[in-house]
Structure 1
Amino acid sequence: MTALANPLADAFWATSLRRWNAVCWGLFGAMAIGLVTTTPAGGSKYQAIALLGCVVLCYAVLDRFPGNPVVRPRVYLSVLVLALGGLAYLGSSYAALFMVTLPHYWMFGRTPRASMGFLGLATGATLAGSLVRQGWSAEFFGETLMSTLIVVAVGVLIGLWAHSVVAQSSERARLIEELERTQAQLSEAHQRQGAADERERIARDIHDTLAQGFASIIVLAEAAQAGIDHDPATSAQQLRSIESTARENLAEARELVGSAGQPGPGQVAAGSVARTLRRTLDRFAEDTGLAVDADLADLECDQQTRIALLRCTQESLANVRKHAHASMVGVVLVRRPHGVELEITDDGTGFRVGESTGFGLDGMRKRLAELGGRLTVTSSVGDGTRILAMIPVVSEVEA
């Protein structure tokens, strides 16, 4: 059994003391009245009252000024031991004081060892005082010794049981507090992770929509400025493309702000993903002048799958525009037994896949992974690039 030196045990003892104080003061008062009214006048009467007064005074100081929780309770218990020995010697109400103060050993002892120690001292002092007064008589052995040992044994059993209950309650309270603290930490970590995931999702959506649109606007603006003198018709077309792209970017920005980043009906219409990709490819061919060979199966799939396929297409086309220096782009959308496959190829300069540090490919991989899909990138310098996106589709109906 260990010491209950923790806030929970301290709170328990404080509550117990407050409840017992009222009882103790009443009992102390009754004992004082009993000593005054029933004890014959003489020196022993005043000595007994003085000893009881010392106990009451120490208890009052302890109750009014708790002070050091270790020193003062033990001073009170020491005075109580001496007073019990003196009252037993005088034969004046020592048994009543012993029973009244029996719980104090467990309340102020703080630990079973200290409580048992002070209770043993009190028992020894009581028996010693009675032995000096009564001698080795039948009265001492038949009444005083047996009754004292019975009271002490009952007090020990009750005290040890109370300490065991408090220890178990404190342990349960500690475990509950630790569990609540762990749950709070997990909740905080979950919130931080959720916030980080949300920031990453927003960054990915901005990269796949607004950033790509702005990049397209810059390229178109540079081309329009370069050809405005010798090819005004083409420049006018490029300016119209700039306006259209800017309007789409504005719509995307409103969707990101107003609906948690989910694309609206204007960007990803319900129904066939082929029609959505076809519009994107037509715009790309119009803006860049590159040849686009598209073989798009007319598939019906869920909104998240359509979004993922569209974003992969937009990111791949943006990379072709910025890096590939290609003359032709091929796009194939097909349904396989294991899901939907989107393949995008170009005949550009290619790159070393292992050395790629861009945000786009990593964003595509994470977007597909969220749907249980995967991204395969095949490329080498001077040999073009092949992007293969696969997304498993459970309920897929081919039109």
Structure 2
Amino acid sequence: MTASAGSTADAFWTTTLRRWNAVCWVLFAVMAVGLAAIDRPGGSKYAALLLLGAVVVSYAVLYRFPANPVVRPHVYLSVLVVALGGLAYLRNNYAALFMVTLPHYWLFGRTPRASVVFLGLATAATLAASVLRHGWTVEFFTEILVSTVLVVAVGGLIGLWAHSVVGQSAERARLITELEETQARLAEAHQRQGAADERERLARDIHDTLAQGFASIIVLAEAARAGLGSEPARSAQQLRSIESTARENLAEARELVGSPQRPGQVAAGSVAQTLRRTLDRFAEDTGLTVDAELADLECDQQTRIALLRCTQESLANVRKHARASTVGVVLARQPDGVELEITDDGGGFVVAESSGFGLDGMRKRLAELGGRLTVTSSVGDGTRVLALMPLTAEAGEASA
């Protein structure tokens, strides 16, 4: 049982105990007054007062100092059993105390087995004391034995039912606590996953935009510096490219921290125009031959951005690693979406051994939109990057 479930059961017992506590103290006071003021002086009177006092003291200690909930309740129940047996032997008015203290066996027994044992001992003690006082008579059988057995049987059934109800309540409390803890852990896991996804998205966007732009600026700056003396016109053109790339990076940075266009909205213009500007800039900066076949089609903003990022990443890899002379780019409409193919005649690489962030970022970006990326390459045979993206119905109708 969890701490919460245990505290629920303890709260039930505490509330019930407080209710019966008031009844018990009233009864103790009435019996004490009755024994002291009404009965005649004698040994039996003082013995009865002593037994009642022992019950009162043990009950008061139990109620005032409940620090040891295992030993002290059983001590009190033992005193109660002895006192009931003694009062049944000394007097006839023990029945009220027996009736009122009947729930105590269930309140302090803690377990059904202990409660039944102490209740059985109390019943046996009172019946045995009554037999010793009155003898085995018809009156004893009809008035004392039958009534006591009926009261104990009803009290036992009620006690067992109460224990069952409390057990079910504790189990429900335990299940509720576990459910709340599970929900809290799940919410925390979702929060951590959301934060991780957001960090990954930002890292991917920064890699695809700002990082690529800075890498391009570095390459252009190195080339411009190297050609300042021999090719001033070429260096001037590269400086203009640096300026243009820096402005684009600034615009990308503002877009990253601003409010992006809503996903699914059809963007103005075609993706072909966007890719054409990127390819022209790449050819101008690198001097490589770019063969482009770009179909004039419309697509939503998210798809347009994904295709643009794939193109930028592929061109950046060509610039940094491929040592190619020609790059081919084909954008075509397919029955199930739009297809972008980028090839180069560079040195190639082993795809399985690639550990860069760029290819993995492209795959995840396309997968988030329902697309897929296929990279084919081998050493000495160039590289082929194939991106297939589905189109929304609105963009598909506009493209058709």
TM-score (norm 2): 0.94
Is the aligned partner of 1:362 residue 2:356?
no
Amino acid at match of 1:289: G
Secondary structure of 1:299's counterpart equals: coil
1:8 counterpart residue number = 8
1:104-143 pair list within 5 angstroms:
104-143=104-143
Structure 2 unmatched runs, 5+? none
Given the alignment, which residue of 347, 350, 358 partners 1:349?
347
Distance 2:15 2:300 in 1: 63
Would the aligned equivalents of 2:220 and 2:241 in 1 still touch at CA under 8 Å? Answer: yes
Distance 2:113 2:347 in 1: 84
1:282 counterpart residue number = 280
Distance 1:243 1:27 in 2: 97
Distance 1:15 1:248 in 2: 72
1:299 counterpart residue number = 297
- Cα deviations by residue, 1:234-274 (Å, 9 ceiling, x for unpaired): 11111111111112112222222334xx479xxx9633111
Distance 1:32 1:389 in 2: 95
Secondary structure of 1:331's counterpart equals: strand
1:201/1:344 CA distance change after superposition, 3 Å: same
Distance 1:212 1:263 in 2: 22
Distance 2:268 2:61 in 1: 82
Secondary structure of 2:327's counterpart equals: strand
1:318 counterpart residue number = 316
Distance 2:279 2:290 in 1: 7
Secondary structure of 1:300's counterpart equals: coil
1:19 counterpart residue number = 19
Is the aligned partner of 1:83 residue 2:88?
no
Given the alignment, which residue of 329, 334, 337 partners 1:336?
334
Secondary structure of 2:324's counterpart equals: coil
Distance 1:220 1:263 in 2: 31
Distance 1:208 1:246 in 2: 14
Would the aligned equivalents of 1:35 and 1:93 in 2 still touch at CA under 8 Å? Answer: no
1:40 counterpart residue number = 40
Distance 1:374 1:132 in 2: 94
1:158 counterpart residue number = 158
2:69 counterpart residue number = 69
1:249/1:387 CA distance change after superposition, 3 Å: same
Amino acid at match of 1:325: R
Secondary structure of 2:291's counterpart equals: strand
Q: CA deviation at 1:358?
A: 1.3
Moved more, 197-206 or 23-32: 23-32
Give the root-mean-square deviation of aligned CA atoms: 1.9
Q: CA deviation at 1:316?
A: 0.5
Q: CA deviation at 1:155?
A: 0.6
Would the aligned equivalents of 2:299 and 2:392 in 1 still touch at CA under 8 Å? Answer: no
Amino acid at match of 1:336: Q
- Cα deviations by residue, 1:347-397 (Å, 9 ceiling, x for unpaired): 112122222121111111111111111111112222221111001113112
Secondary structure of 2:103's counterpart equals: helix
Q: CA deviation at 1:35?
A: 2.5
Distance 2:267 2:97 in 1: 90
Is the aligned partner of 1:254 residue 2:246?
no
Amino acid at match of 1:349: G
Distance 1:21 1:271 in 2: 83
- Cα deviations by residue, 1:12-51 (Å, 9 ceiling, x for unpaired): 2122212221222122222222323443332212221221
Distance 1:122 1:218 in 2: 95
Given the alignment, which residue of 356, 371, 376 partners 1:378?
376
TM-score (norm 1): 0.94
Would the aligned equivalents of 2:267 and 2:300 in 1 still touch at CA under 8 Å? Answer: no
Distance 1:263 1:365 in 2: 22
Pairs aligned (count): 392
Amino acid at match of 1:303: Q
1:99 counterpart residue number = 99
Distance 1:271 1:42 in 2: 113
Q: CA deviation at 1:92?
A: 4.2
Amino acid at match of 2:216: S
Structure 1 unmatched runs, 5+? none
Secondary structure of 1:348's counterpart equals: coil
1:398 counterpart residue number = 399
